[in-house]
Amino acid sequence: MGIQNIDSRVFFARRSKTRMYRPSLVITLCAILGLLGSLALATTATLTLTNPNQGTVTTGATALSTTQNRTTGRSASPSTNTQTPILPFPTLLWQQIAALQSHNRFLYTGNRYLPEIALTFDDGPSPYYTPQVLAILQQYKVKATFFCIGRQVARYPDLVRQEYNDGNLVGNHTWSHPNLALLSSSDILTQINLTADAIQQATGVRPTLFRPPYGVVNTRVLAKANLLGLTTIIWNDEARDWSTPGTGVIISRILNLAGDGAIILLHDGGGNRSQTIAALPTIIQTLRLRGFKFVTLQQMLNDLPKRPASTQAPVTVPTPASTP
Ligand code: ZN
């Protein structure tokens, strides 16, 4: 499959002693990859972080669809669960992010004033680890969201169907997990659409949630996400479990960053996820004891403030000076 430790090349937000409710920090900490991607694309239209008007931003998680059933968090209809594109759509990256955020279509966190947490699992399905994750979720009656890789979906459609039938959401994580900032618009479209087709074939529902690999977006990526009516979902709580730091470390990192509206990133595919599996029960039990409720990303979207721009921290495009 060639995706061992698929995210290991990425530098994500590191653990902070303070709660990670600062999107600018998330973006800044992830900016290195975006900068590298931009440099690699020096001959293309991709932007560098030094130019906030046109850039590649590495964030932490993104978007969902919105026409899903409010009570169940499940799609009411396979054909009516995408958003209407924002038109006209801005051409500058920061404007695109602002426009999407104003429609609750670009998220790195849920409602910061509600004790809700969303568990998300990326890079699956895996025939070995995904069933173990599903069994734990069933045991604790937790609904989560899986951001699947299209070629894995095509190989293991039954697992994706089980994810969905268990009450979880299934999101789009591209066909082969590339850095989308390095691709042309047409290749970005292919990566998203092939995966959407595979998920729809497996579950009967076309995904409306999209997570770009490594959390990297640029203007081409967001333009396609808008056009397709997708909601981009990043994250604000992760343990870099792909680096197999040890079960205890995964637990402590997740718990230290958890808070109201947290979107937790873990992995059920792309490498050895035994530590993630071992950490999951303690993470669930501890956060429940702290009073948090586990919800799907759709429920988290439903519970967002009506005017997100005034209640969520602004997204800022990082500059090299602020990049660690
Ligand atoms: Zn991934």
Write the DSSP assignment of 174-205 as a string of letters.
-SS---GGGS-HHHHHHHHHHHHHHHHHHHSS
CA of 292 to the centre of ligand 1 (A): 25
Q: Per the domain annotation, does 221 fall within a domain?
A: yes
Q: Per the domain annotation, does 199 fall within a domain?
A: yes
Has residue 138 got a pLDDT over 70? yes
Average pLDDT over residues 119-138: 98
Give the residue carrying structure tokens 């429920």: 299
Alpha-carbon span 78 to 70, nearest angstrom: 15
CA of 286 to the centre of ligand 1 (A): 26
Q: Per the domain annotation, does 146 fall within a domain?
A: yes
Alpha-carbon span 94 to 59, nearest angstrom: 12
Residue 239 tokens read as 């343990």
Q: Per the domain annotation, does 61 fall within a domain?
A: no
Alpha-carbon span 79 to 144, nearest angstrom: 22
Domain containing residue 245: 3-44+83-310
Residue-wise pLDDT for 15-69, tens only, equals 333 344 444 444 444 444 444 443 333 333 333 222 333 455 655 433 333 333 3
313/17: higher pLDDT = 313
Q: Per the domain annotation, does 137 fall within a domain?
A: yes
CATH code: domain of residue 124: 3.20.20.370
What Å distances lie between residue 1 and 57, 123, 177, 194, 220, CA to CA? 28, 11, 11, 17, 27
Q: Are 291 and 259 in contact (CB under 8 A)?
A: no
Alpha-carbon span 100 to 85, nearest angstrom: 10
The catalytic residues are 122, 267
Q: Does the model's pTM come out above 0.85? A: no
| Among 19, 146, 73, residue whose Cα is nearest residue 295 | 73
Q: Per the domain annotation, does 268 fall within a domain?
A: yes
Q: Per the domain annotation, does 243 fall within a domain?
A: yes
Average pLDDT over residues 290-309: 88
| Among 148, 187, 142, 178, residue whose Cα is nearest residue 284 | 142
Alpha-carbon span 117 to 209, nearest angstrom: 17
CA of 61 to the centre of ligand 1 (A): 10
CA of 88 to the centre of ligand 1 (A): 30
What Å distances lie between residue 94 and 55, 89, 313, 317, 320, CA to CA? 8, 12, 14, 7, 16
Give the total number of structural domains in the chain: 1
Q: Are 110 and 258 in contact (CB under 8 A)?
A: no
CA 301 to chain CA centroid, nearest Å: 13
CA of 310 to the centre of ligand 1 (A): 30
Average pLDDT over residues 235-262: 98
CA of 91 to the centre of ligand 1 (A): 26
Q: Per the domain annotation, does 63 fall within a domain?
A: no
Alpha-carbon span 106 to 146, nearest angstrom: 17
pLDDT score recorded for residue 173:
98
